Each structure stands twice: as C-alpha cells, then as structure tokens.
Structure 1
Amino acid sequence: MDGTRTTPACLPSLRGLVAHLPTPVRDDRVDLAALGRLVDRAVAAGVDGLGVLGSTGAAMHLDRDERSTVVHRAVEHASGTPIVAGVSALRTSAARTHADDAQQAGAAAVLLAPVGYVPLSDDEVLGLFSDVLAGLDVPLIVYDNPVTTRVDMSNGLLSELAALPGVGGVKTPGPGPDPDVARARVAGLRAGLRAALPAGVTLGFSGDPSGPAGLAAGADAWHSTLAGALPGPLVALARAARAGGAVDDEHLAPLWEAVRRYSGVRVAATVVELRGLAEGPSLPRPLLPLTGAARREVAHALAALGQR
C-alpha cells in the first residue's frame, strides 16, 4: 500500500450475477471440501462473481481463522472468477482485520455492512467505512441491509459513502419484481448517487425476486442469495434479464417465497443439503437448517425444477 487512495475501476465481480455461497459447517468446523464443490459448480455454471461471508454465508457466526480459510478456499477453486468477501464485524478493528485478511487471500473486492448491537448513527457509519477503506487496496462494496443491521441508509448517506475513495459498488435491497417499479428505483438511485456513480461505482441489488427485474432495468449487479446453492437456473435468468429478453421466473416463485418466510441463509443451506452437496446440518449453531414441512416445501420446489 502506497497511501494513494483512488476510486478503483469497475471489476467484473461488480457486474452481472454475483452468487453468494453458503458456508457449509460439519462437526462445528468449516467443511472445506463441500465449500470447494459449491465454488466449482457455480464457476462451471457461468456466474460472473462469487460472494462469500455475506448474510448467506453466516459470516457473523465465524471467527477470524474460519473467515480467512473460507476466502482462501474460494479463491483456490474460483478459476479466476472474482471473489467478493464479506468483512462485516461489530468492531471497526475487526472489520479492518477481516478486510486485510480477505485482500491478502486474493479477494477481488470486499463487502461491508454497518452491523451493531446498537444501531449505528450516520456519523458512526461514515467513520466505519472511512476507517476500513484507509487500509484497503481492493474495491469495497457498500452493503445496505436494513432488515439485518437495523441501519436504514438514506440516499443521502449512500451518496456520501459511494463518494468515498476506494468504494467500487453499492449493494442495496431490490425494488421487487415489477419492471416499472424496478426502472423507477434504478433511476432514483442513480440520480441520488449521481456524484459517485459516474466515477465508476456500480449499483447492485439484493433480494432474489428483485434481481432479474433490477438487471433488466439497468442495475449493474444482482447479488443472489440462492445462486451459490442453485447456480444453473439463476445464471440462465440473469443472462435473459441482461439481454433484455422476457424474464419468466414463475418457476422459482416457491423458492422466493421460502426465502421470504424462512430466511436466505436457512433456505440456501437446506438446498445444498437436499442436493447432496454438503452433509447436514450444515449451518453453524445456533442456526439450524429447515426441518419438517418447511424442508419438504423446499424439496418440492427443487423437484419441480428438476434439481433434486
């Protein structure tokens, strides 16, 4: 690091379909073999980028060594597909440590959400991002996730964060599946972030039901909860959306509904287990995969897709 801070050029990892991976755990240890299989399958399916250690990856339940090991294994298996590594933590010093570990392991970008036991103020959020960026040599994606963090970022705060040197992208909740609403949301965000976006900051959406509509409306990236566990159908959907063709995701509606009801981290882990890609239970306790009727609901949705 030479102390020079510039806004990085857009990376391929910040555009298209970014498949966020579960972190399989077995006997209270990260199952590196299962993680490698997930990366291999996602790369073979043609995802544009891979996300590890986000909400889907249960990062807040993993310690420093586990997080570093996850990034190393993902990079080893990625065959050049860019890796976006989550670095969120309760303390700024821990987030800086995770960010340094991630870039040393070969991550192409890091993803940071302002998490806190007590919701953070705007000044605290700005301080967190500024401090993490000060030691970073790869792009940082600002992660706006109010449901999990209880920090609801205004367009004004997002604009300030996006303008910080070193920020390469913004990941924000999606607009929903309606194309007209998606276009209005994309236009509104681009107008609100106009000071930063022309400098190369990309706009990405989370929330799988919103992803196709967001891409079709001109968003740069779809950060997908389920693409790491079920890459094939979602790669096809993302490509159709980016090409401007008709986007039909009705066949995925049961899985979207399961994520809404049970959370992405649980559904993604359950999909991986049902497909035989990891041995269950594969979540770090106290988290548990789905059981009973909820598990059968996901199994039926996979069977309908031909993805047993």
Structure 2
Amino acid sequence: MFTGLSAFPLTPVTDDAIDEKSYATLVHRLATAGVDSIGALGSTGSYAYLTREERARAARVAVDHADGTPVIVGIGALRTRHVLEAAEDAQNAGAAGVLLAPMSYQRLTDDDVFGLYEDVTTNLSIPLVVYDNPGTTHFTFTDELYARVATLPHVASIKIPGVPADPPAAHARVQRLRQLLPDTVTVGVSGDALAATGLNAGCDAWYSVLGGTFPEPALAITRAARSGDADRARAESQRLQPLWDLFARHGSLRVVAAAAACGLPLPLRGLDAEARAEVAEVLDQLGLSA
C-alpha cells in the first residue's frame, strides 16, 4: 500500500459545501485507473479548511467509492485532540491508513512534533504516513527527527518534500534515508516535477497531486520507474514540463482545481480567467482531460 502511485484527489466544493457526487466520481476514476492507493484529504484535498463532520463524511465517501483500493486519509489539525478525533473518524470509515502533517500556528519544535506523532500512534490501529510538507506547514523535519518518528508504532512511510534535481544527488539522498529508517518504513517522494527523479533514485512511492486528477500519466511515470526503465520515466515526466511550470507558477492545488473545474473552500478562490485559460491551453497541448 505504501509503494507505487498514491493519488491525491481534490475535495470538490460547491456553494461552500463538499460536492459529494463529484468527489465520489473522482475517487472512482482513480480506482478504475488502477492507482496503488488513494490519498483522501491531503493538502490537495483541502483538509485544513474542512470541519470534523465534513472530513468524516469525505473519508467515508472515499472508502465507499474506492472499489477496494486502499484509502489513506489525512488527519492533520492544529490541536492533538482534533488529530485524534480525525484519526478515529478515519478508522471508523474504513481507511487503510492515515496521513499526518504537523500543522501549526505557533512555531513547532522537534519535541513538539515528536510528541504529536507519539500521542497519535499510541491511539492508532492502522498504519500512518508521516507527511513532511514544509511549503504548507512551515515546519522542516531534520533527518534525525525522521529517524526518531520512524521508531514509533504504526509508522509505515515518510512522504519527503522532493529530492535534489541532480540524479546522483537524489540517489545519495534516498540512500541516506535508507540508512536512517527501519526496513519497514517506505520512502515516498512528493513534489510532482521531481517524482521521476525520486522514483528512479529508489523512492518506493509517489504521493502525487497530478495522479489525483490525471492518473494515467502519473501511472506511466510510476510504472516505468518501478520497472527499472529510468529513461522512459524521465521522458514521460519531461513531456509534462508545461504542466510542472504551471504548478511552479500558480501552485499545484489551484492548477488541478482549474483543470477539473472544481471549486475550493473559501477563502481559496482559485485561478483568475487568464490563468484558467492558460491551464486549458496546456491541457489541450498535452492531450489531458479531467
């Protein structure tokens, strides 16, 4: 479950409420495409903007429409109590695993973050993915903290925020992590533009924004890299460079929301008309349709 392509869908919003029908359709499409897991309520799923009730319902919809594909549910929140509530709801919904980022308003220390994972894993009965996403959490894990957290029960994978662009440096980075982490903990790359580099360097999984809306090209990259065809994985990723450029310019969430014509929870307002037209032009150029 913590290898291959983990596809992170949007949580569509209409009139400031979750559009459950559209969400179910997105999840079903991912399952039909054959992704290895579905990352519901990740950053692409706007979990931080949703109430407990909305998140619990979204988790259940995802599990119900995943057709047996494992669903990993995001449980991040500012307070540990709320994380524990989200974890309980995810488990009750039938999630196969949970995904936890150390959210904060006050700046967190390493001890704060370790304590969070310690408290949460003590109360879990399913596996946990450590979600390192400094672009949204503004917290940066050290390698030493990775190693500490990885010793906790139920920790099954660490989602790292990309790898160096240089392939030898990326390989060295992944090998460094292998030396620090138990064999039972997989390494998953994020940062879609560097996913092929990370997979070719030995990452076990790709936790993918792209895969949540366009599973087919993400699967092509993942399958090529996992089968040892590094050149093909690299070529498939390079073909998508216009999309990676849009991600860098506008943010991946806003780009895929525009691509899927999905609303976002306020105050997120998405892209303006000019940027949406730019997204449509790139999708047409690449032959992609949501």
* Separation in 2, partners of 1:307, 1:147: 27
Q: 1:244 to 1:177 in 2, by over 3 A?
A: farther
> What is the CA distance between 1:293 and its match in structure 2?
2.7
The answer (yes or no) to whether the contact 1:87–1:112 under 8 Å persists in 2 is yes
Structure 2: which 5+ residue stretches go unaligned?
Answer: none
2:76: which partner in 1? 88
1:5: which partner in 2? none
After TM superposition, the score normalised by the length of structure 1 is: 0.90
Q: Secondary structure at the match of 1:107?
A: coil
Matched, 1:216 2:194: no
* Separation in 2, partners of 1:221, 1:128: 24
1:267: which partner in 2? 255
1:307: which partner in 2? 288
Q: Percent identity?
A: 46
* Separation in 2, partners of 1:157, 1:298: 38
Structure 1: which 5+ residue stretches go unaligned?
Answer: 1-11
What per-residue deviation string (whole Å, max 9, x for no partner) do you get for residues 158-186 of structure 1?
Answer: 10001111111111111144322321111
Aligned length: 285
List aligned pairs for 1:1-20, cutoff 5 A: 12=1, 14-20=2-8
What amino acid maps onto 2:277 in structure 1? R
2:187: which partner in 1? 203
* Separation in 2, partners of 1:128, 1:301: 41
What amino acid maps onto 1:141 in structure 2? V
Matched, 1:168 2:156: yes
What per-residue deviation string (whole Å, max 9, x for no partner) do you get for residues 237-291 of structure 1?
Answer: 1111111112212221111111122112211211111xxxx4xxx1001001212
Q: Name the Cα RMSD after superposition.
A: 1.2
The answer (yes or no) to whether the contact 1:230–1:271 under 8 Å persists in 2 is no
After TM superposition, the score normalised by the length of structure 2 is: 0.95
User: Given the alignment, which residue of 37, 46, 60 partners 2:48?
Assistant: 60
* Separation in 2, partners of 1:69, 1:176: 38
1:131: which partner in 2? 119
The answer (yes or no) to whether the contact 2:72–2:99 under 8 Å persists in 1 is yes
* Separation in 1, partners of 2:6, 2:43: 13
Q: Secondary structure at the match of 2:212?
A: coil
180-189 or 42-51: which moved more? 180-189
